[in-house]
Structure 1
Amino acid sequence: MSDSTNPTATAGTEVAPPPPERAPAPASTERNASLWADARRQLLRDPVFIVASIYVLLVVSMAVVPTLWTRQDPRDCNVQRTRIPPSWEHPFGFNNLGCDYYSHAIHGARPSLQIAIFATLGIIILGGAAGLFAGYFGGWVDAILSRITDIFFSLPFLLGAIVFLTVIKQQNVWTLAIVLVVLGWTTIARIMRGSVLSSKGLDYVQAAKAMGAGHGRSMFRHILPNAVAPMVVYATITLGAFVSAEATLTYLGVGLQPPEESWGIMISQHQVYFLDHPWLLLFPCGLLVGTVLSFILIGDALRDALDPKLR
């Protein structure tokens, strides 16, 4: 009697081939995300960052395309409408010259943001380069650049800006931005220098040098990407600080001058009407405070997202 369990027991009967072996599950190929990818995911889950970013985008749209917000000419004035309170058709009312105050506020965003952006780019280039070279080369290069940084760092920011702008006697977007760069690059240079000092001793940097990487490749390809995060955080906060600085200098009479529109000019011209017409001061101050606060909140969120120790 044949064994039914024998696969070859019956002649001519096909035997089913054994099932193919299941391939082992592929190992997870998900690599550790980079610092910036992790930071992006964290920022997209941060409601404070999202709200602050939306506010900044709205202000930027006011500066870039003011016609999206108002068709009213800010210089279309009529003294018969002087200091008329806000209404549905004119949500900010009229200023002391009878001009539509809402259109002044919208057009006032452009020079404030222009100065802040140009000045921030300037300190990134000047201060970032000084800190990068000082931290990388060390020795006499570091000594000279550090002493120059100390000299500029010792200048009082507000007093120095007032003196420079008084001497220049030409207040516009470019002169204000240049003065802010001259007085504001020192902190970012120190931040970059410290980041470079902590990065240039890392193993992968030393390995790149051992493989023949030159100074330029070592600095800009291996060290700078690892050292730029603190500078980005500080530059974001500085954007808000420069918006505030422009308004302060304009309020003191050494910044932008009429017929230029800016929030600082609006505050300076209407401070005397605060008791009788407080909205003339509250509207530009609200836009100024909201913009500065938004940049600070974005900078704080970036700091938390780019620092693995705070996660």
Structure 2
Amino acid sequence: MEPTVSHESTPALVKPTKPKSQSPWVLARRKFLKNKVAMISLIFLLTVCALSILAEPLTMPIEDTAKINIREIGKTPSAEHFFGTDKSGRDVFARTLHGGKTSLLLAFTITISVITIGTIVGAVSGYFGGWVDNALMRFTDFMMNFPFLLFVIVLKSIFLESGTATLIFVISVLSWTGVARLVRSKVMAEKENEYILGSISIGCSPAKTIFKHLLPNVMSTIIVQATLILAGMIVAETGLSFLGFGVPMNIPSWGNMLNEARSPDVLAIKWWIWIPPAAVLTLTILSINFIGEGLKDAFNPKSNR
């Protein structure tokens, strides 16, 4: 007797789907977008940058912000002058926007220079090691011995007629050492991985190995460090300009505007002259620090997903 064959449909075996692998950059972007404080800070920073870039069409040409207007001296905030006027009759609102353009442009330029110099020195030192590492690190130690503030003040005193280019050059030359040491340590740890050894074994040049394989894998650390340096450069420019050794006084910047707060009557009575640039400066630095913390948490694999 032949066995009966059941015609009932048997459930098909469903193969489990493998989760899609995501790159660290995709995961970091998702984690950063979920950080509300970092996102609010990023929106605020972008708004400040946009208003600073559009300072001239929104208010007046930058040349007009340096002109003295005797009829408008010391006016309080009004519909005509949103932030009032200073002791020279200049519009504080226009100077705040133009000052932001100057301070942010200087800070971004110096940060890019510092990151570029420090990354190149640190990557070359960490990759080659040996006498190259010793020579570059001893030179880095030598540069770290220069007192930053004193050296900048001395050079600015020598070159009294110099503009912002000298300030950018001096600060960039003296500020790359920390980035170089950080990148060096990351590169030395990264170059022991198999993909770097494989790149060397197939004959890739050192430059190709460094820029195509090593640096992309330490770029997250560099980006986080860049945000911290950006905030520090804004503080450095403001402090030097406040002391009279930064941006020339005929160019509006947040530091030059705060320089007027050294006058007792301005500090105590004419609050509208220094509070707007001080408030924008403080909020900008806080926003950059919050963005840096958000990026640090986003690129940290040990943080909660």
Please confirm whether the aligned pair reaches a TM-score higher than 0.5, indicating the same fold: yes
Please name the residue that 1:160 is paired with.
151
Please name the residue that 1:63 is paired with.
52
Question: Once the two structures are superposed, what CA deviation does each residue of 1:11-55 show, in whole Å capped at 9, x if it has no partner?
Answer: xxxxxx998996845733611x11111111011111111111111
Please name the residue that 1:13 is paired with.
none
Comparing 165-174 with 54-63, greater Cα deviation is found at 165-174
Please name the residue that 1:101 is paired with.
92
Are the aligned partners of 1:86 and 1:94 in contact in 2 as well (CA < 8 Å)? yes
Q: Return the TM-score normalized by structure 1.
A: 0.88
Deviation at 1:71, TM superposition (A): 4.9
Pick one of 220, 236, 241 that aligns with 2:232. 241
Deviation at 1:100, TM superposition (A): 1.3
Please name the residue that 2:271 is paired with.
278
Number of residues of Structure 1 aligned to a counterpart in Structure 2:
298
Q: Equivalent residues in 2 for 1:64-143 (5 A)?
A: 64-67=53-56, 69-71=58-60, 73-75=64-66, 77-143=68-134
Pick one of 25, 40, 43 that aligns with 2:32. 43
Residue 290 of structure 2 is aligned to residue 290 of structure 1: no
Structure 2: stretches of 5+ with no match in the other structure = none
Question: Once the two structures are superposed, what CA deviation does each residue of 1:227-261 show, in whole Å capped at 9, x if it has no partner?
Answer: 22212111111111111111111111111123211
Distance in 2, matches of 1:175 and 1:217, equals: 33
Are the aligned partners of 1:165 and 1:179 in contact in 2 as well (CA < 8 Å)? no
Residue 218 of structure 2 is aligned to residue 227 of structure 1: yes
Distance in 1, matches of 2:269 and 2:223, equals: 43
RMSD of the alignment, in Å? 2.3
Deviation at 1:93, TM superposition (A): 0.6
**Partner of 1:216: helix, strand, or coil?**
helix
Structure 1: stretches of 5+ with no match in the other structure = 8-16
Are the aligned partners of 1:77 and 1:98 in contact in 2 as well (CA < 8 Å)? yes
Distance in 2, matches of 1:303 and 1:170, equals: 41
Identity of aligned residues (%): 32
Q: In the alignment, residue 65 of structure 1 is paired with which amino acid?
A: L
Q: In the alignment, residue 191 of structure 2 is paired with which amino acid?
A: K
Are the aligned partners of 1:165 and 1:176 in contact in 2 as well (CA < 8 Å)? yes
Are the aligned partners of 1:152 and 1:183 in contact in 2 as well (CA < 8 Å)? yes
Distance in 1, matches of 2:203 and 2:134, equals: 27
Please name the residue that 1:305 is paired with.
298
Q: Return the TM-score normalized by structure 2.
A: 0.90
Distance in 1, matches of 2:14 and 2:302, equals: 37
Comparing 115-124 with 267-276, greater Cα deviation is found at 267-276
Are the aligned partners of 1:116 and 1:242 in contact in 2 as well (CA < 8 Å)? yes
Distance in 2, matches of 1:270 and 1:6, equals: 96
Distance in 2, matches of 1:166 and 1:78, equals: 30
Larger Cα-atom Rg: 1
Q: In the alignment, residue 55 of structure 1 is paired with which amino acid?
A: F
Distance in 2, matches of 1:310 and 1:162, equals: 42
Comparing 77-86 with 34-43, greater Cα deviation is found at 77-86
